[in-house]
Chain A
Amino acid sequence: GQNIDQPTEMTATEGAIVQINCTYQTSGFNGLFWYQQHAGEAPTFLSYNVLDGLEEKGRFSSFLSRSKGYSYLLLKELQMKDSASYLCAVRDLPDSWGKLQFGAGTQVVVTP
């Protein structure tokens, strides 16, 4: 079956770096997404990886290893507003743009 695992919660202080790991076992693979979701709000897109390696976007970076079924999201220079749930999602079929398999999310708590 499909399985996407990520830690439930992580706590870090303002200005620090946090790495959120995601491992997946899916029937196929056509890209991995990271979304940020504040409580009661819609998920917002952060990053997309389809090839192995690191994608950097400002304070956020995402890494993918397809052979290991592994990704991480790196948040640098943490700010209070980064407190949110971070969702790892895999698209397992090539023609199904919206059929994403989501992990349960990692709640990041940023403390002063």
Chain B
Amino acid sequence: GAVVSQHPSWVICKSGTSVKIECRSLDFQATTMFWYRQFPKQSLMLMATSNEGSKATYEQGVEKDKFLINHASLTLSTLTVTSAHPEDSSFYICSAHPGSSGANVLTFGAGSRLTVL
């Protein structure tokens, strides 16, 4: 089945630094990937849609200059949290679907837990 790999699984950083999270589709090509964020005991919230070869589409309220998304190839999207602050501490999850085959099912990565000190 479709597999989405996410790295790192967890990261701790100092306030003011930047952190990059990678999302890879391992056995399929994904022209579109999605980045979600989940705070403890809350629902997953879509942050942005990552489009291969073009700019990401951000959801309302998500700062595009703070959460930089790059989708340079059909199998890799990256999310960079710039100048991270403690309130950015969260569980970040990427997802993708393999296109027309099994298109109804969105596959998620294992998530990246970010802690900003």
Contacts and interface: CB of A to CB of B under 8 A. Distances in A.
Contact of B43 (A40, A42, A98, A104): A104
A98 B111 contact: no
B106 A102 contact: no
A112 B42 CA distance: 27
Counting chain A residues whose Cβ lies within 8 A of the other chain, the interface size class is 20 to 34
Contacts of B91: 40
A100 B106 CA distance: 9
B107 interface: yes
Contacts, number: 59
By secondary structure, the B interface counts as strand
Counting chain B residues whose Cβ lies within 8 A of the other chain, the interface size class is 20 to 34
A102 B43 contact: yes
Interface in B42-62: 42-46, 49
Given A42-B109, A87-B43, A103-B43, 12 more contacts: A4-B43, A40-B111, A42-B4, A43-B44, A48-B104, A48-B105, A50-B104, A98-B46, A98-B95, A100-B44, A102-B44, A102-B45
Interface of A: 4, 31, 33, 35, 40-45, 48, 50, 87, 89, 96-100, 102-105
